[in-house]
Amino acid sequence: MKSTIKILLTMTMVWFAVMTNAQQPKTALDLNNRLASITDSLYSKGQDWGNKFVETTNTRDFASLKPYRENIQHYIASELKVVKGMKDINGSENLRNVIIEFLNYENKMIDNGFVPVEKLPQTASDDDVKKVINDLAEASKDEADLLKRVSEAQDSYAKKNGFTIEAPAESH
């Protein structure tokens, strides 16, 4: 019985090591693409929250925003672990650190901006809603600058490693 447990434990540890290593980017371009996918996914999740917020301004069911916010926060926590555990490839330290800073900023912004919105009661006045919107705008005021730093770090990393960054597609 003990040997069966040892074998299962060993197999589990080997599987975990293989899976962890398999998720590590192998090239500079792979690492760049993996980090870029984080900001893309976070943007999409933020849009989902924003769309739900527009809906809640009519229904006044602000608590319905909570699952959207929690989804974003779980994603951020998961990605922070991944990025912090990544092995640097060809000078990726700055890019990785800026992504970590960005994720930490987003998490703080969500705590300070999103959570107060979902705590509004259904009886909230228009002035109450305006106040939390203004507070959210204040909490997110540095987001554009931080995203610019992410973009600059990504451009620098691409130049250093001989690949180009595609311009984002314009949405109409």
Please say whether the beta carbons of 86 and 30 come within 8 A.
no
Please tell me what DSSP assigns to residue 87: P
Question: Residue 89 burial (CB < 10 Å; 0-12/13-18/19+)?
Answer: buried
> What are the residue ranges spanned by the domains of the chain?
27-161
Give the angle 136-77-92 at the CA atoms, nearest 5°.
100
The predicted-structure confidence for 114-151, as pLDDT tens digits, reads as follows: 999 999 999 999 999 999 999 999 999 999 999 999 99
- The pLDDT, as a whole number, for residue 172 is 45
Residues in the chain: 172
- pTM equals 0.83
- The pLDDT, as a whole number, for residue 73 is 98
Best CA proximity match to 157, nearest among 16, 45, 2, 27: 27
- Which of the residues in the chain have pLDDT under 70? 1-22, 168-172
- The pLDDT, as a whole number, for residue 19 is 45
